[in-house]
Chain A
Amino acid sequence: MTTAAPLEVRSLTKHFPLGNAVRRAHVHAVDDVSFELRPGTITALVGESGSGKSTVARLLAHLSEPSAGEVLFEGSDVSHVRRRRDVLRYRSQVQIIFQDPFGSLNPVKTVRHHVERPLRIHHVVPSRQVEERVHELLRTVGLVPPEDIAAKYPHELSGGQRQRVAIARALAVEPKVVLADEPISMLDVSIRIGILNLMSKLKEERGIAFLYVTHDLASARYVADDILVMYAGQIVERGPIEDVLAAPLHPYTRLLLEAVPDPTTKTEGQQIELRKGDSSAAVDPGEGCRFRMRCPLAIEICAHTTPQLVEERPEHAARCHVTAPAN
């Protein structure tokens, strides 16, 4: 790739303590995760709940500090910046959109308030241009007529409209990176596509680098260019999304694909193996592959050696001794 990555993470790690002073354990929520977000590219981060995907988004948004590793913004490590000025500067470039459009807006404030606040805090435009810019942002996210919408309160809007307000607010500071944490999973089916199309449009027109955190493979395929699959805190597969979904390497990615409802086959034709182990693979994991208890391909080495991400095909890597063996 010729374009530089505005945001890159190297060996990002976050452990949370569990239990008490006598029986101490650690959840390896994020373990040695590395990737980069490129301009004009949507990268999907996919995994089940508890896989660590939201923790990655929170670490990138500077809402939580990593236990180890680096978050590089245009080349410099920002994971430990503390000074308000530095944090503000970072947040003016990296914005986050949350899952719940009902919880992320203040119920007693108008839409105008939500969208103009970042404009004023970050001094994006002179005061006299604020109103004009608010309307422009609302138009960008498809909320028309902006004059009417700006005067409304969150409860007067539908879920989809609220999520669009959250996106307008994120765009106000003209960010280079937008982290979207499950932005459509709480919305009605018929309006989800509209939000995904808006993300595509912003990627094309503004060259924004998106991280799209989701558990929904079909929506990831629809909107994203690249995919990262997480399991128990680790990235187990990454690559261009069409390549990964057409020919997945990791057994977990294959399981995910098989589990998605497929209207063309009735259940009898498509049965998945029922799980034996519990999915607490991220608690003090130790050596070995974290997926081995659920894996149909597991061999002896999986129990005692942690597999590394190996590029088995061009740009397409997996963490599996069987399908992507190290040389």
Chain B
Amino acid sequence: MTSLVEQPLVTRARNADLLEVRQLVVEYGFGARAARAVDGVDFAIREGEVLGLAGESGCGKTTIANTVMQILRPPARIAGGSILFEGNDLVGKSTEELRRYRWRNVSMVLQSAMNALNPVMRVGDQFVDAVRAHEKIDRRQALARAGELLELVGIDARRVSSYPHQLSGGMRQRVVIAMALALEPELIILDEPTTALDVVVQREILQQVEALKRDFGFAVLFITHDLSLLLEFADRIAIMYAGEIVETAPAERLGANPQHPYTQGLLKSFPPLRGPLTPLTGIPGSPPDLRDPPTGCRFHPRCPHCIPEQAELYRRQTTDRPRLRAVEAGHEVACHLVAEAVE
């Protein structure tokens, strides 16, 4: 007897990291012109945890999302490392296995929901397609499920018969979140889910995600350039710069005690809404070209602590690549200055 519900690629193992990424390298193109968008990244997400991944455009954060979701397309390719989902390496799995993994184990919400929905298909039918690709249920049941899911994200169930253009941007983004929940995945990737939306709509949506997370218990990989958003919504934050993770810590620790000069600079790039106003500087310069990244610490050309006068430190900053080191439990930093302080 075959089961009506297709089996997920992997089944739950207790007390393990849900997702573990080890020494991941992703390249675009080949040879001398290849750009390493992700260069030796390690991170893990526990069950039910919200991991925030923050960085500027071109730092590799969306490439990581696409890699975890297994939707990388040429010229991008995994050039090294492994992605363990509940202990099983996704690298090298067959197309069919990956098809089952996507959406059932991990789903994804993109920045522009407006483009993620098919404009000439009713919302309900798009649900039906997605669900029936994975489960043997009939159209009526699938539509009923779609209605329930819409209600969960605060949209009237009758909207299943609406076309995307009949919904506001915020509503469309919620439809996409509802679709991402349809097969009850263990991990949802939110890639800049609210960047195109207004602050009020942004908060409405994130509140809804929090509430759904309490009910469903999924984990979240939350990718954004907006660090202030992560400080509020994430449990743990990883800061990316030029293809590397430069600092990772619990959200409160990162906000209270940032160690990497880049993190410090990012935090000083958000003017406060309350309290005293002081002149801010941002970070001078701009992110590097990944086809030809700076030697040593990739942040050194923009780093206020990298000065030739301190000859020995300067030599290491410009030639040695710093590794992530723990400065306290759960708080790791890749910076020569910090490494010096620890030793």
**Which residues of A come within 8 Å of B, CB atoms?**
48-49, 158-161, 188-194, 196-197, 215-219, 221-222, 245, 255-263, 265-267, 271-272, 274-275, 278-279
Contact = CB atoms under 8 A, between A and B. Distances in A.
Contact of B202 (A259, A266, A267): A259
Contacts of B271: 193, 196, 218-219, 221-222
Given A218-B271, A218-B272, 17 more contacts: A160-B286, A188-B56, A188-B287, A189-B227, A191-B283, A192-B269, A216-B199, A217-B199, A257-B273, A261-B226, A262-B232, A262-B273, A263-B228, A263-B231, A272-B200, A274-B208, A279-B168
Interface string B188-214: 000000000011111110111010000
B304 to A, nearest CB: 12
B8 interface: no
B232 A263 contact: yes
B80 interface: no
Given A189-B225, A259-B200, A217 B273 contact: yes
A189 B231 contact: no
A188 B241 CA distance: 12
A70 B229 CA distance: 41
Interface residues of B, number: 42
Tell me the dominant secondary structure on chain A's binding face.
helix
B87 interface: no
B119 interface: no
A256 B200 contact: yes
A261 B229 contact: yes
A259 B273 CA distance: 11
Interface in B74-92: none
Nearest to A160: B286
B120 interface: no
A220 to B, nearest CB: 9
A189 B199 contact: no
A197 B279 contact: yes
B282 A190 contact: yes
A171 to B, nearest CB: 21
Nearest to B282: A193
Nearest to A272: B203
17 contacts: A48-B201, A49-B198, A189-B226, A190-B269, A191-B282, A191-B286, A193-B271, A193-B280, A194-B282, A194-B284, A221-B271, A245-B273, A262-B228, A263-B228, A267-B210, A274-B204, A275-B200
Given A189-B225, A222-B280, A265 B200 contact: no
Contacts of B322: none
Given A48-B198, A259-B199, A188 B286 contact: yes
B233 interface: yes
A133 to B, nearest CB: 26
Nearest to A258: B203
A196 B269 CA distance: 11
Contacts of B202: 259
B270 interface: yes
B57 interface: yes
Contacts of B56: 188-190
B154 interface: yes
Interface in B242-283: 255, 265-266, 268-273, 277, 279-283
Interface string B276-311: 010111111011000000000000000000000000
Interface string B211-244: 0000000000000011111011100000000000
Contacts of A263: 228, 231-232, 255
A274 B199 contact: no
Nearest to A185: B195
Interface string B130-149: 00000000000000000000
Nearest to B232: A261
Given A192-B282, A259-B200, A267 B207 contact: yes
Lowest 5 A-B CB distances belong to which pairs?
Answer: A193-B282, A263-B231, A222-B271, A190-B283, A158-B286
B168 A190 contact: no
A222 B286 contact: no
A278 B201 CA distance: 11
Given A190-B266, A190-B283, A262-B273, A274 B207 contact: yes
By CB atoms of chain B within 10 A, which of A190, A196, A256 has the most?
A: A190
Contacts of A256: 199-200
Contacts of B265: 190
Contacts of B277: 221-222
By CB atoms of chain B within 10 A, which of A196, A222, A261, A279 has the most?
A: A261
Contact of A274 (B154, B198, B273, B286): B154
B286 A267 contact: no
Contacts of B206: 267
Contacts of B283: 190-191
Contacts of A215: 198-199
Contacts of A196: 271
B273 A260 contact: yes
Contacts of B169: 49
By CB atoms of chain A within 10 A, which of B154, B203, B255 has the most?
A: B203
Contacts of B286: 158-161, 188, 191
B57 A188 contact: yes
A108 B266 CA distance: 33
A261 B225 contact: no
A219 B269 CA distance: 10
By CB atoms of chain A within 10 A, which of B200, B204, B255, B281 has the most?
A: B200
A278 B233 CA distance: 26
Given A161-B286, A221-B271, A260-B273, A188 B203 contact: no
